[in-house]
Chain A
Amino acid sequence: MNENGHNVVDIRSLKKYYPVRGGVFKRHIADLKAVDDIDLSIRKGECLGLVGESGCGKTTLGKTILRLHEATDGRIYFDQPKDKIEEVERLLASQRPEEIARGKTLLGIMDITRVSRKRLLALRKKLQIVFQDPSNSLNPRMLVKNIVAEPLVTQKLVESRELEDKVVSLLNTVGLAREHLMRYPHEFSGGQRQRIAIARALATNPDFVLMDEPTSALDVSVQAQILNLLKKLQSDFSLTYLFVTHHLLVVKYISNRIAVMYLGKIVELSETEELFTNPLHPYTKALLSAIPVPDPDTGIEKIILSGDVPNPIDPPSGCRFHPRCRHAREVCREEVPKLESAGEAHQVSCHLWREL
């Protein structure tokens, strides 16, 4: 990855809270902080892996980028030059009201969370998603032909005459053929259904595809097929992936960089090799040691975390990982650690990473 390559997606202090309502009048009593103050940039042409346990907010973060969820606060820039983003950030941070106002008007065009519906439709052409379970994400009453053609029709990209050829060529790229056109999703196996979902995502020729656990519902041998296909497509179509998963070995295989999330925060962000050879955050270390290794002779000592992921409605004070961390100290309980740079292309959010 070249450092100067510009970012496809630039996320600045993004927050997504779900209101929790209770009492007789359904008062707003608390917030479920699914994504809490996240800064993240996804470079052009890379595959960024987003790893974490269930309930840590990784899917929410992904879907907020596509504006399938409305963000509570924060900015998501899509495909904007770096200096322009910095300019807007400077305007927003300034003290003078007129500069802030100008920043806000600029945001109206640049920020995914604020653009108008009309612009959003155009943006959606560039942002696509592959969902977790293909048996739920494909409409059982639609033919494969119509499923794959739907984005093309809505975006008015192809004339109806050429539609079928376009769909067939899309199916070919994912390893299906013309004979599959007139079938329904239930006639396919899990792996083939996921291929259809991928073809649908590629239909509008996107720049950025969100992969929301695309292989977790598949068997090992089929998973390998899909992973290889995704890798091939990425280089063929110069795609950028955000690969959300809980499976560390899958993410290791497919990603260039990995972000580890815990309870709505990114705890570590690093290049893949670096993360696996030199994990800094205690949570990442525990996650890595918990992977079952398909080799009976590995003598890796396991770090078993005690307890469960805490409730995100009432997260622990300070570092959110401290109740399960075996190195926790006083400072972890009180101060929230910042994501700080720990060497080249490696960021970690822990008070004690230097000592551990």
Chain B
Amino acid sequence: MEKLIETEDLYTNFFTFEGVVRALNGVSVVVNQGETYGLVGESGCGKSVTVRSMMRIVQEPGKIVGGKILLFLSSEDRQKGIDIIKRSEAFMESIRGDDISMIFQEASTSLNPVLSIRDQVGESFLLHRRGELLEETLKQLADELKSNGFPLAMAWKGFQRWLFRRELESLRRYEKHVKEIDRELYELEEKTDPRSTRRKSSLNARRDRLSEHDFLVSAVKKSPFLERYYKKIHKIVENKIIELLKSLGVPNPANVLKSYPHELSGGMQQRIVIAIALACNPTLLIADEPTSNLDVTIQAQIIELIKMLKENIITSVLFITHDLGLVAEVCERVTVMYAGDTCETTSVKELFKNPLHPYTKGLLSSVPRIEQVEKLHTIPGTVPNLINPPAGCRFHPRCPSAMKICAERKPPMVEYKEGHTVSCHLYPGEEV
């Protein structure tokens, strides 16, 4: 299996007034091409922080303080991957929503209440797919210009074509430039001598400054009457959105387009959020508790939808949840997290059949089951405060089989058997 995204020993801290919250304590996860990967854990275990770090959208006062996030996107950088922590913000912007996109936890708060659905879904098309949109518009205009029409209208169309061409040219120029910088950065990535370090930082700064600004096009876009020429593109975007919404099972998409988030039900809002994430056919879809505020029947609808999308459209899904039932249903491989540590990584079947880490065992037996009759098993105590986390293994104060060494040393990630790694002193072995 080929890797798609990998975090290596990731540390993320939050610098708050009370102290430094050590949210991630060396997290290493690998998402492969074409798989559905799950991150499970209780609230505050760092699953959301992990994916936010992957997207580099950790909110203030949080900061990624150590580790690597390697991205293996195109075939040329398959060998070593791009370390996205070292890249510029502009580079991240080009990736977010295009190659990696995310569904956030609460649909009602992640949608903008003052923008219509059309504006919100269309945004990613206009941002990432403008070149294709412009080409399409030009093709349309060329067809229209071939036929005969009222001279003034034809002149207006000719003017539009001229503007669109000009915009496309400046866009292509910009893209070419960006590509050159990215290639050079990629070649310099591993070098640490002062000369290339300087070169790297200057390239990153240049990439941030670079813009495709064209004086004439932006002047026309701002002028009161002439800006109408851009409506053509919006029309095309609208058709694309309608198509997308239709494929997600939104009834009556043409009407939904014009509505605002508060007019839709919870399940429908979640579909819109999914539509925003899917607009540019991402390689990796990160779903951060996509169903946590929905009813069971609506949850079943959304899960079915994500499964369908996984089969047909997107290559990989990173699914975050606290519900072990959902994990069993959706994921292929899972990592169990606890207080910023990764406890165990394995395939779903193995996890439910043969859990190794004491936390996983506790978690599995504290979920009420259909055939449950005897008393529910509980894990004593609560999740620790991460400003002052327990030394050694962070689970040891709650662990039924804690030993002396657990309080002293953080257990290494050990391969127990093929495809099943665990981080616990109960299972000695060599670190992977």
Residues of A within 8 A of B (CB): 53-54, 189, 191-192, 219-225, 227-228, 231, 246, 248-250, 252-253, 276, 286-287, 289-298, 302, 304-306, 308-309
Q: Among the listed A53, A286, A296, which residue makes an inter-chain contact with B328, where contact means beta carbons less than 8 Å apart?
A: A296
Min distance, Cβ B420 to any Cβ of chain A, angstroms:
15
**Which of the residues A189, A219, A248 comes within 8 Å of B322, measured between beta carbons?**
A219
Apart from A53-B295, A219-B43, A228-B376, list 14 A-B contacts with CB within 8 A: A53-B298, A222-B42, A222-B382, A228-B375, A231-B375, A246-B296, A253-B372, A291-B296, A292-B299, A292-B325, A293-B329, A304-B297, A305-B300, A309-B295
Question: Which residues of A lie under 8 Å from residue B299 when comparing CB positions?
Answer: 290, 292
Known: A249-B368, A308-B268. A220 touches B300 (CB 8 A): no
**Lowest 9 A-B CB distances belong to which pairs?**
A292-B325, A224-B366, A290-B300, A53-B295, A219-B42, A253-B368, A221-B379, A294-B324, A249-B368
Least CB distance from B267 to A in Å reads: 6
Q: Is the CB of A291 within 8 A of B325?
A: yes
Q: CB-CB < 8 A to A219: which residues of B?
A: 42-43, 322, 383
Q: Can you name the residue of chain A whose Cβ is closest to the Cβ of B40?
A: A220
Contact mask B257-279 → A, CB, 8 Å, 1/0? 00000000111100000000000
Asked whether, in the complex, the Cβ of A294 is within 8 Å of the Cβ of B352, the reply is: yes
Select the residue from B326, B368, B378 with max chain A CB neighbours within 10 A. B368
B377 on the interface (CB 8 Å rule)?
A: yes
Contact B300 A276 (CB under 8 A): no
* CB–CB B366/A220 < 8 A: yes
Closest Cβ neighbor of B298 among chain A residues: A308
Asked if A252 contacts B372 (CB within 8 A), the reply is yes
A296:B370 contact, CB within 8 angstroms? no
Contact between B43 and A294, CB atoms less than 8 A apart = no
Q: Which residues of A contact B378 (CB under 8 A)?
A: 221, 224-225, 228
Tell me if B348 counts as interface (CB < 8 A to partner A): yes
The answer to the question of B73 belonging to the interface, with a C-beta cut-off of 8 Å to chain A, is no
A9 to B356, CA, bound (A): 47
| CA–CA, A296 and B334, complex, Å | 12
B364 lies within 8 A of chain A by Cβ? yes
For A53, the chain B residues whose CB sits under 8 A away are: 295-298
Q: Tell me whether A224 and B376 are in contact (CB under 8 A).
A: yes
Q: Which residues of A are found within 8 Å of B352, using beta-carbon distances?
A: 294-297
Chain A nearest Cβ from B112, distance in angstroms: 22
> Do A295 and B328 touch (CB < 8 A)?
yes
Task: Tell me, yes or no, whether B363 is within 8 Å of chain A by CB.
Answer: yes
Shortest CB-to-CB span from B135 to chain A, Å, is 38
- Find the residue from B267, B327, B370, B380 having the highest chain A CB count within 10 A: B370
**Given A253-B372, A293-B370, A297-B349; A221-B300 close (CB under 8 Å):** no
Bound complex: CA A302 to CA B266 (Å) = 21
Q: How far is the CA of A291 from the CA of B325 in the complex (A)?
A: 8
**Cβ of A54 and Cβ of B295 under 8 Å apart?**
yes
Within 344-372 of B, Cβ neighbours of A (below 8 Å) are at 348-349, 352, 362-364, 366-370, 372
Q: State the interface size on chain B (CB cutoff 8 A).
A: 43
Q: Could you tell me if A296 and B363 are in contact, using CB atoms closer than 8 angstroms?
A: no
Q: Say which residue of A228, A248, A297 sits within 8 Å of B296 (CB atoms).
A: A248
Q: What are 14 A-B pairs at a CB distance below 8 A?
A: A53-B297, A219-B322, A220-B322, A221-B42, A222-B382, A225-B378, A246-B296, A253-B368, A290-B297, A292-B303, A296-B348, A304-B301, A308-B266, A308-B298
Docked pose: A287 CA to B298 CA in angstroms: 10
Chain B's closest residue to A227 (CB) is B376
* B266 / chain A contacts, CB cutoff of 8 Å: 54, 308
Judge if B304 is at the interface, Cβ distance under 8 Å: yes
A304 to B305, CA, bound (A): 11
CB distance B348 to A294 under 8 Å? no
B323 proximal to A (CB < 8 A):
yes
The interface of chain B, by Cβ under 8 A from chain A, is 42-43, 265-268, 295-301, 303-304, 322-329, 348-349, 352, 362-364, 366-370, 372, 375-380, 382-383
Q: Across the two chains, which residue of chain B brings its CB closest to A302?
A: B300
Q: CB < 8 Å: which of B328, B329, B369, B382 contacts A189?
A: B382
Q: How far does the alpha carbon of A289 sit from the alpha carbon of B300 in the complex, in Å?
A: 9
Report yes or no: B42 in contact with A294, Cβ–Cβ below 8 A: no
Chain A nearest Cβ from B53, distance in angstroms: 22
A253 near B304: Cβ-Cβ < 8 Å: no
**Measured between alpha carbons, how far is A305 from B329 in the docked complex, in Å?**
18
Instruction: With both chains docked as a complex, state the minimum distance between the C-beta of A210 and any C-beta of chain B, in angstroms.
Output: 21
Q: Which residues of B contact A296 (CB under 8 A)?
A: 328-329, 348-349, 352
Nearest Cβ on chain A to B334's Cβ, whole angstroms? 10
**Min C-beta distance of A2 to chain B, whole Å:** 21
- Contact indicator B366/A305 (Cβ below 8 Å): no
* Distance from B295 Cβ to chain A, minimum over Cβ atoms (Å): 4
In the bound complex, CA of A293 to CA of B329 (Å): 7
In the complex where A291-B325, A296-B349 touch, is A252 in contact with B301 (Cβ < 8 A)?
no
A294 engages B301 (CB within 8 Å) = no
Q: Which residues of A contact B379 (CB under 8 A)?
A: 221, 224
Contact B267 A308, beta carbon cutoff 8 Å: yes
- Determine the chain B residues whose CB is within 8 A of the CB of A253 once the complex forms: 368, 372, 376
Q: In the complex, A305 Cα to B294 Cα: how many Å?
A: 14
Contact B367 A294 (CB under 8 A): yes
Are B296's CB and A290's CB within 8 A?
yes
A49 CB, nearest partner CB in chain B, Å: 12
- What residue in chain A is nearest B291 (Cβ atoms)? A292
Once A54-B295, A294-B328, A308-B265 are accepted as A-B contacts, the answer to whether A221 and B372 lie under 8 Å apart by CB is: no
With both beta carbons as reference points, the residue of chain A lying nearest to B299 in the complex is identified as A290
Which residues of chain B are near A302, meaning CB under 8 Å? 300, 304
Measured between alpha carbons, how far is A9 from B367 in the docked complex, in Å?
31
Residue from A219, A228, A286, A297 whose CB has the most chain B CB atoms within 10 Å? A219
Which A residues lie within 8 Å of B369 (CB)?
249, 293-295
* C-alpha gap A323/B328 in the complex (Å): 31
Measured in the bound complex, the distance between the Cα atoms of B42 and A223 in whole Å is 11
- Residues on A with C-beta less than 8 A from B267 are 308
Closest chain-B Cβ to A298's Cβ sits at a distance in Å of 8
Given contacts A249-B370, A302-B300, A221 and B363 within 8 Å (CB-CB): yes
Write the nearest CB–CB distance from B218 to chain A, whole angstroms: 43
Give Cα A309–Cα B294 distance, bound, in whole angstroms: 12
Bound-complex Cα distance A252 to B372 (A) = 8
Complex CA–CA separation, A253 to B297 (angstroms): 20
Question: Complex formed: what's the CA distance from A211 to B165 in Å?
Answer: 66
Name, among B43, B301, B376, the residue most crowded by chain A CB atoms within 10 Å (CB to CB). Answer: B376
Given the complex of chains A and B, what is the CA–CA distance between A249 and B296 in angstroms? 11
Least CB distance from A134 to B in Å reads: 13
Contact at A227–B368, with CB atoms within 8 Å? yes
Bound CA–CA A220/B365 (angstroms): 10
A191 touches B382 (CB 8 A): yes
B381 to chain A, nearest CB (A): 9
Give which listed residue, A231, A294, A298, contacts B364 with CB less than 8 A.
A294
The distance in angstroms between the C-alpha atoms of A253 and B328, with both chains bound, is 20
Residue of A nearest to B303 (CB): A292
